[in-house]
Amino acid sequence: MFRLQRVLPKNTHLLYLHRWLLIAGSIGVVAGLGAILFYSAIHLATNLFLGMGAGYHPPGPIGEGEPVVSEISRRWMIPLITTLGGLLSGLIVSKFAPEAEGHGTDAAIEAFHQREGIIHPRVPLVKLIASAITIGSGGSAGREGPMAQIAAGFGSVMGQLLKFNARDRRIALAAGIGAGVGAIFKAPLGGALLSKIGRAHV
């Protein structure tokens, strides 16, 4: 704060701080709601593909209270369901948002460094749906990468709506990543550290 006071005119640093407290809080709320929606979509897709299709309910993390391992009643369906999920996910991404392909984290980092913090508004929704289908059908994927790109998209879109310059869009994008990852893993400190690392490169 002392360094900020020397650089900015009197009282300007307080306005800047108050502004970003409001903006970052709003991004955090939206990203948190997005994490809830993503988590619910994964459970819905898992019940639809693996549950109804293969008669299998995969165990969840011990930390989430779902470590129960159950039998697979139709094992022969697993390869078919995984293939179907991959095809559906690929078709959705290629049709509606090709920039949503891949792990997710790499795309968010690329948007931060090479695209002035701009992510198209359709990317978060497409990424959410496609990733939920991939994970829910037994594909080899996790929640971190998709949630990072989804929440980064929320931050970027907010920055675009508020007519931010490139620097502030990058800050909003980094705040989105931190909020999203912190929410999906229930690790707010980890999300804050992740956002701080991204913010340090602005």
Number of neighbouring beta carbons within 10 Å of residue 31? 30
Q: How far is the first Cα of the chain from the last one, in angstroms, to the nearest whole number?
A: 17
The phi-psi region of residue 186 (left if phi > 0; otherwise alpha if psi is between -120 and 50; otherwise beta) is left
| pLDDT confidence of residue 65 | 61
| pLDDT confidence of residue 2 | 41
Closest CA to 80 of 43, 47, 50, 46: 50
Pick the CATH number of 22-199 from 1.10.3080.10, 3.40.30.10, 3.40.50.720, 1.10.10.10: 1.10.3080.10
| pLDDT confidence of residue 5 | 47
| Helical segments of 162-187, H only | 166-184
Q: Report the b/e string of 140-165 with b at 16+ CB within 10 A.
A: ebebbbbbbbbbbbbbbbbbbeeebe
| pLDDT confidence of residue 8 | 47
One-letter amino acid for residue 86 of the chain = G
One-letter amino acid for residue 91 of the chain = L
Task: Please state the pTM of the whole predicted model.
Answer: 0.80
* pLDDT < 50 stretches in the chain: 1-2, 4-5, 7-8, 200-202
| pLDDT confidence of residue 113 | 87
DSSP 56: -
Token pair in block for residue 50: 């693996």
Q: How does pLDDT run across 48-86, given as a tens digit for each residue?
A: 999 898 888 887 767 666 666 777 788 889 999 999 999
Q: Taking the mean position of all CA atoms in its chain, how far away is CA 76?
A: 32
CA angle, 39 then 41 then 44, to 5°: 115
DSSP 53: I
